[in-house]
Structure 1
Amino acid sequence: MYPNQLTLETLESQHCEYVQLLPALQEIDLLVSGGFKLKNSIRQFLSQRPGEESEIYETRIKKYTYLNILSSSINQQVAKLANATLTIDGLETAPDFWAEFRENTNLSGRSEKELITLLFREVLKFKKIFVHADKPQVDVVPQNKLQEESLGIRPYVITYSPLQVTNWSESKGKLSWIKVRQITEDTSNPLAPAQKIATWTFIDGSFVAKYSAIVELDCKGNISKISNENANPKSTVALVSLIEHGFGEIPVLKLELPDELWICDQAASKALEHLRTDCAKYDLLTLAYFQRTFKRIQTPDSDLEHTYTNDEPIPTGLQHVIELEKFEWAEPRGYIVQHMSDSLKAIEDQVRDLISSGGVSATHGAITQSGISKKLDFHKQEVQLKSYGEKLCDFYQDVLELVAVAAGINGDNISVTGLNSFEDDTLDSLLLDLDDISKLDVQGLKAKLPPTIFNIVYEQLVSLLAGNLSAPQKEQVKKEIATLFQPGTLL
């Protein structure tokens, strides 16, 4: 299926959705990353003004400043979800394997919790992420599972950013194949310059095929040379690896959020507005004062037959200074600076509101709020987090089932639940809740409600009190409630 060589034109082909989203994803990546990565690309966000001289523009660029409110807001959401409990059942068939996998999901020490955190953070940023279940390659081909275990071969998972997956095909919401484009740097030889390696990986229902070459990139990240030769669409790249993975289906899963839950799509433009407003404020403050008018000093000319002219530039070092009959300096008005500060604060609150969906009481004097008031403030955020948690649980269950197929063990009974209670309760509020529940007239409530309705209400009450429960725990609670309220049972 895969030839020994492919043209650069074929390898660099991109899905139409990837082409449409790439500028937005790159902008989000820079705004969330901040630091030197954003600084190196700051001209993308602070463009040269019409009529602005290059020297003045460069001076303004050097005054760049950025408060990374987008990243901090995302981290707050991620930390909130990380407080929730994840419960996994159905791993009893191979407890040693699953214990090892959950401690090290990528063979490089990444724990299960770190993987869940990574998945959540990436989908908040980029809307989707791809997860590939794979096995390490060894020189000796194992003949059975025992040999595989003795060689230390076990499945692991790799994540691909949507910036890396440049082309794909899917049918009815399920992937048929994907192409992953990765640029790495080879520094293995200490006596030679570092080399950039471009790798294109095709993954489908039967094979994993890799094409790779030494390349040079231009300033936009496009390939300009392949193996020291100028690149063109007909340049060819060799196949370096072709493996039949044996899954029977593509071993790649995609986690994707609906548009309404992709928060960075909405918040990035506000973060960019904050950046530009902050830089304008800082530029204004560092001027301290600025010259608005200028009067030339002219020297009389002894030649009365010719008009005296002076074509020298106005030596102010500032843009757009008006020549008048007076000399004047102006200082930034205090109310302008205050207005910009208020605007920055408003934008910052808007970004946090967009990301946490109302759970931003800390910006509005939450320290003085009561516990009940804080709960009301965080209700919208908790509802949104539950939506994320439900999607993450369903997706991670699919990941574990795929890993079970790779390991050759039964994964039919795997169940992933949780991520639906986020520890908003303090000890004091929990004790108050227990006190209120103890005062309920349960027998009186039972006498007034039909038995089925009463059991449902009581189950909901216990579920809200207990928080995260696995499916077996919920079933056990249900049985105990039924036993507790059997006829003749005393409370």
Structure 2
Amino acid sequence: MYPNQLPLEFLESKNAEYIEMLPALQEIDLLISGGYKLKNAIRHFLPQRAGEENEVYETRLKKCTYLNILSTNVNEQVSKLANAPMTIEGLDVNPKFWSAFRENTDLAGRSEKNLITLIFRELLKFKKIYIHVDKNKSDVIPTNKLQEEALGLRPYVVSYSPLQVINWSESKGKLNWLKIRQISEDNSNPIAAPRKVCTWTIIDDTYIVKYSAIVELDAHGNITKANSEMTNADTTISLLALPLEHGFGQIPVFKIELPDQLWVADQAASKALEHLRIDCSKYDLLTMSYFQRTFKRSLKPDSDLENSYEDDVPPPTGLQHVIEVDQFQWAEPKGDIIKHMADSLHAIELQVRDLIAAGGVSSSNGAISQSGVSKQLDFAKQESMLRSYGEIIIDFYQDLLQLVAKAAGIDGSKISVTGLNSFENDTLDSVLMKLDSISKLNIDRLKANLPSSALKVIYEQMVALLTGNLSAAQKEEVNKEIELLLTSIKTGDTFIV
């Protein structure tokens, strides 16, 4: 199906939606990343002013400062969701496999919690993310599950940013195929200069195929040379390896996407950019030694009696110019504008926090000591949005685990994922109060009003809230003990924690 070579023009073809969204996604990525990445691209955010001399512009750029308010609030949301309890049922078919997978989802040490964290952060930043279930291949064909496990041939998860997925086709919300473009650096030769490698990966419902070339890029990321040759209409790129049949019977890639109203970075990016520009201007203003307040126009006489002056052009003005007038003096800045800028910066910080629904409004206004009820009300909007995010991620993760089970040859039909819907802001006092309340729960009444499976799920979520983050092995052990506890309790007993 796939030829040994493809035209570069075809491999570099991009989806119209990708072309439209790329500038916004790149800007959001820089605003959230901050640090050296933003510093290297600061000209994009702080353009040269009209009439500003190059030397003055370069000095202004070097004085740039940036408080990363967008990243701070996004990280708070991510941390809040990642610490919410999540319950997974149906992993008792092969607990050893699932324990290993949940501790290491990508064969590089990434835990299940870190995978959920990555997915949520990318969703808040870019609105969508692509998750690929893959499986290592071996020259030795295993004859049974034991040999497959010995060879380490188990499914794992790869994530792709929407900055990397440049083209795709989908119908009814499901992908038909997609193309991923990745730039990496080849440092395999210690006595040669590093080389940039571009790899195009095409995934459909049958094959995974890769094309690759050594490339040179221009400032905009476009390929100018491929395999040491200048690119043109006839440039072709060769296969990296023979097309691989993945054997899933469907495209093994999920696209997770937020609705527009939940894509917070899109709503807050413009305010974060406003904050950056005001902050830089304020610092620039504070480091100026003077303000030029007035000037006297200098006129040059000539021999034309009807037009007594020539070059009747106003002299250059602005903070970078010193104009000699009849009486020269320094004019130091007054504090009014600085205070106005500081107030504007604070207002923008609150606006960004509100747009992202990060909560904590009253605490930012000085109400440090809050009751449990007050704190719950304060974070109501945040928790409402987090539940919406949690529902999307839970639905996806259940589908993901079922596909992983299929790849591993395990029955995944009974796998169900719940949780990510409770986000507490507890103090020690509130935890102790909850423990006291739990110890007084009447099992007889609960059994009379709840199905046994529902009771088990609720109890697991309740314990997860109290214990916090646990490893996959610890969660499995706790769930076994919960099941044993619930089956051994007699009618009329109470929960003792």
Q: TM-score, normalised by structure 1?
A: 0.85
C-alpha deviations, 1:143-167, integer Å up to 9, x for none?
4433322212111110000000001
The amino acid across from 2:330 in the alignment is: W
1:405 alignment partner in structure 2? 406
Question: 1:172-187 counterparts in 2 under 5 A?
Answer: 172-187=172-187
2:345 alignment partner in structure 1? 344
Gaps of 5+ in 1: 301-306, 486-491
Give the C-alpha shift of residue 391 in structure 1: 1.4
Give the C-alpha shift of residue 326 in structure 1: 3.0
SS of structure 1 residue aligned to 2:418: strand
1:287 alignment partner in structure 2? 288
Q: 1:466 aligns with which of 441, 462, 465?
A: 462
2:278 alignment partner in structure 1? 277
C-alpha deviations, 1:58-91, integer Å up to 9, x for none?
1111111101111111111111112211211111
Q: Partners of 1:482 and 1:264 in 2: how far apart?
A: 52
SS of structure 2 residue aligned to 1:278: helix
State yes or no: 1:429 paired with 2:425. Answer: no
2:355 alignment partner in structure 1? 354
SS of structure 1 residue aligned to 2:343: helix
1:167, 1:179 within 8 Å by CA — same for their partners in 2? yes
Give the C-alpha shift of residue 482 in structure 1: 13
SS of structure 2 residue aligned to 1:276: helix
The amino acid across from 2:176 in the alignment is: S
2:42 alignment partner in structure 1? 42
Give the C-alpha shift of residue 240 in structure 1: 1.6
1:201 alignment partner in structure 2? 201
Give the C-alpha shift of residue 379 in structure 1: 1.3
The amino acid across from 1:54 in the alignment is: N
1:191 alignment partner in structure 2? 191
Give the C-alpha shift of residue 419 in structure 1: 1.2
1:97 alignment partner in structure 2? 97
SS of structure 1 residue aligned to 2:239: strand
Stretch deviating more after TM superposition (347-356 or 184-193): 347-356
Q: Partners of 2:491 and 2:181 in 1: how far apart?
A: 58
Q: Partners of 1:284 and 1:169 in 2: how far apart?
A: 51
2:206, 2:251 within 8 Å by CA — same for their partners in 1? yes
Gap change, CA 1:191 and 1:160, over 3 Å in 2:
same
Q: Partners of 2:83 and 2:484 in 1: how far apart?
A: 24
The amino acid across from 2:211 in the alignment is: Y
1:169, 1:175 within 8 Å by CA — same for their partners in 2? yes
Stretch deviating more after TM superposition (314-323 or 134-143): 314-323
The amino acid across from 1:408 in the alignment is: G
Stretch deviating more after TM superposition (148-157 or 279-288): 148-157
Q: Partners of 1:178 and 1:478 in 2: how far apart?
A: 47
The amino acid across from 2:261 in the alignment is: E
C-alpha deviations, 1:1-31, integer Å up to 9, x for none?
1111111111011111111111110001000
C-alpha deviations, 1:348-393, integer Å up to 9, x for none?
1111111125444432224133332111101111111111112111
1:388 alignment partner in structure 2? 389
Q: TM-score, normalised by structure 2?
A: 0.84
Gap change, CA 1:85 and 1:438, over 3 Å in 2:
closer
Gap change, CA 1:473 and 1:164, over 3 Å in 2:
farther
State yes or no: 1:252 paired with 2:253. Answer: yes
Q: Partners of 2:463 and 2:357 in 1: how far apart?
A: 21
1:104, 1:112 within 8 Å by CA — same for their partners in 2? yes
Percent of pairs identical after alignment? Answer: 65
C-alpha deviations, 1:104-152, integer Å up to 9, x for none?
1111111111111111111111111111111123232334433322212
1:418, 1:468 within 8 Å by CA — same for their partners in 2? no
Question: 1:31-430 counterparts in 2 under 5 A?
Answer: 31-241=31-241, 242-294=243-295, 318-319=319-320, 324-356=325-357, 358-430=359-431
1:7 alignment partner in structure 2? 7
Q: Partners of 1:190 and 1:317 in 2: how far apart?
A: 52
Q: Partners of 1:353 and 1:410 in 2: how far apart?
A: 44
SS of structure 1 residue aligned to 2:397: helix
Give the C-alpha shift of residue 195 in structure 1: 0.5
2:471 alignment partner in structure 1? none
Give the C-alpha shift of residue 292 in structure 1: 3.0
2:292, 2:321 within 8 Å by CA — same for their partners in 1? no
Q: Partners of 2:255 and 2:379 in 1: how far apart?
A: 30
Root-mean-square deviation (CA, aligned residues, Å) is 3.6
Q: Partners of 2:327 and 2:387 in 1: how far apart?
A: 66
Stretch deviating more after TM superposition (329-338 or 419-428): 419-428
C-alpha deviations, 1:247-292, integer Å up to 9, x for none?
1000101111111111000011111000000000000000042233
The amino acid across from 2:90 in the alignment is: G
Gap change, CA 1:475 and 1:150, over 3 Å in 2:
closer
The amino acid across from 1:380 in the alignment is: K
Gaps of 5+ in 2: 302-307, 466-474
